[in-house]
Amino acid sequence: MDNSSAQYKAAVRLVQTLRDGGFEAFFAGGWVRDFVMGGGGGGDIDVATAARPEDIRRLFGRTVGVGEQFGVMVVLQDGLPFEVATFRADVGIADGRHPESVVYTDAKNDALRRDFTINGMFYDPLTEEVIDYVGGRQGIKDKTITAIGDPGQRFAEDYLRMLRAVRFAARFDFAIDSGTSAAIKENAHRINAISAERVFAEMGKMLTGPNPHKSLELLHDSGLLTHFLPEAENLRGVEQPAQFHPEGDVFVHTVKTLSFLPPNPSPTLAWAALLHDIGKPPTMTVTDRIRFNNHNHAGARMAEIALKRLRAPNALTDAVASIVENHMNFMNVSKMRLSTLKKFLSRNTIRDELELHHADCMSSHGELDNYHFIKEKLTDFKAEEIKPDPLITGKDLIKLGLKPGPTFGKILGEIYDLQLEDKITTREEALETAREML
């Protein structure tokens, strides 16, 4: 445990202030789980307390009631923000996302309303004691994700917890308890009661966290995947030519691709890896062999539709669709004209595309010649060589007497290609070439 960090020291002072005010207070949530697992208690430190919002506001100078109706305040301690929540119990189920109301309670009953045993422990930083009312330490010992109490009830309180169960199981390489798993399967169709934004955010954590491939397998096994991302579920059973894909069908290939991603991939790379082959099912044909002609083009459109349905940010949606569209072009890189290659290397997403290509190859035939070729070219070329400023613009063509129109783009494009191929290196040469074209 790093009890020397500024965050830890500030959190201890926060708890001490609550205790001095006459209120029980502990560290709670993920920090405690990671501490018990031997991870040093990293991440944000949340505090649970018997103090009510009005007490918290009185004891601390700077507070914000971010969820005051649920007893949640943000306290600024030593310049650092901490979420401080009053011990509470949820009453009733409003909509599968929120309780009808909350009542303030004690630490034990607060623990009993939390999601999973591994997340339901408290830690007293003053006595350095773990308080475990729910069997969280046993869950960690057994490497099992178990809902606290009745799993059906826990999920009905917030159906997003079904995705959280999958994420924690994948992250820690734990199993999901049989009763918890059965409740997920029974309620899987209710995941659509959760806002698309929350589902997207939870999926993003899975895909960019540890073991994203296990997340995908568990999402299928639990019955969740088909309800919010059927494009990925439909990859199952879509056979591929064995000479290129000895690993198996498209779903198996996608699982393996995710397993070969680098640690902490960007969201763009992670989503592109998940969706890169979703165009294969609708484009599958069998002639001399199984083929998926233009699956990258179909997949780009499908990825865009899926991500928009999940309310993904526009920038991520556009980038992922572009990567899916382009991912088959790596097979041609060694044969490209220099100008075409430089345009390929100048793509804003080229680093993510290169990592996807590596994972794609490693999950199938294992040939990495094109990967190493592109890595070498990215090292050889300077940024200004890959994407230099054009030597001339449309204003120069107007001065030469050409009226704006379709010819503009064609001339400028051809001259820029010559520039990329180092056949034209000065502005004067570019202007002379333009005059010859005119």
Q: Which pLDDT band, with edges at 50, 70 and 90, does 73 fall under?
A: very high
**pLDDT > 70 fraction of the chain, expressed in percent and rounded:** 96
Q: Which pLDDT band, with edges at 50, 70 and 90, does 244 fall under?
A: confident
- For residues 18 and 20, what is the distance between their CA atoms, to the nearest angstrom? 5
State the fold for domain 6-142.
Answer: Beta Polymerase; domain 2 (3.30.460)
Q: What is the pLDDT of residue 251?
A: 97
Q: 371-421, pLDDT tens digit by residue?
A: 999 999 999 888 777 888 888 888 888 888 888 888 888 888 888 888 888
The class of domain 229-386 in CATH terms is mainly alpha
Beta-carbon count within 10 A of 100 CB: 10
Q: Which pLDDT band, with edges at 50, 70 and 90, does 264 fall under?
A: very high
Q: What is the pLDDT of residue 169?
A: 98
Q: What is the pLDDT of residue 98?
A: 60
Q: What is the pLDDT of residue 328?
A: 96
Average pLDDT over residues 94-118: 83
Flag the least confident range among 41-45, 55-59, 389-393.
41-45
Q: Which pLDDT band, with edges at 50, 70 and 90, does 187 fall under?
A: very high
Average pLDDT over residues 361-374: 95
Rounded to 5 degrees, what angle do the CA atoms 108, 111, 114 make?
Answer: 155
Whether 86 has a pLDDT exceeding 90, the answer reads yes
Whether 17 has a pLDDT exceeding 80, the answer reads yes
Q: What is the pLDDT of residue 243?
A: 87
| 407 Cβ contact list (under 8 Å, min separation 6) | none
Average pLDDT over residues 285-309: 95
Strand partners, 116: 147
Q: What is the pLDDT of residue 403?
A: 81
Flag the least confident range among 11-20, 123-132, 325-334, 397-406.
397-406
Average pLDDT over residues 339-348: 92
Q: What is the pLDDT of residue 405?
A: 81
Average per-residue pLDDT in the chain? 92
Whether 96 has a pLDDT exceeding 60, the answer reads no
Q: 191-240, pLDDT tens digit by residue?
A: 999 999 999 999 999 999 999 999 999 999 999 999 999 999 999 999 99
b/e sequence 263-298, b meaning 16+ C-beta within 10 Å: eebbbbbbbbbbbbbbbbbeebeeeeebebeebbeb
Whether 435 has a pLDDT exceeding 90, the answer reads no
Q: 249-263, pLDDT tens digit by residue?
A: 999 999 999 999 999
89: closest CA among 100, 78, 73?
100
Domain ranges of the chain: 6-142, 229-386, 394-437
Q: 234-238: list long-range contacts, CB under 8 Å, 24+ apart.
A: 234/278, 234/281, 235/277, 235/278, 235/280, 235/281, 238/280, 238/281, 238/284
Q: What is the pLDDT of residue 392?
A: 87
Flag the least confident range among 61-75, 88-102, 320-334.
88-102
Q: What is the pLDDT of residue 408?
A: 83
Average pLDDT over residues 312-338: 96
Q: What is the pLDDT of residue 396?
A: 85
Whether 268 has a pLDDT exceeding 80, the answer reads yes
Max CA separation in the chain (angstroms) = 88
Whether 341 has a pLDDT exceeding 90, the answer reads yes
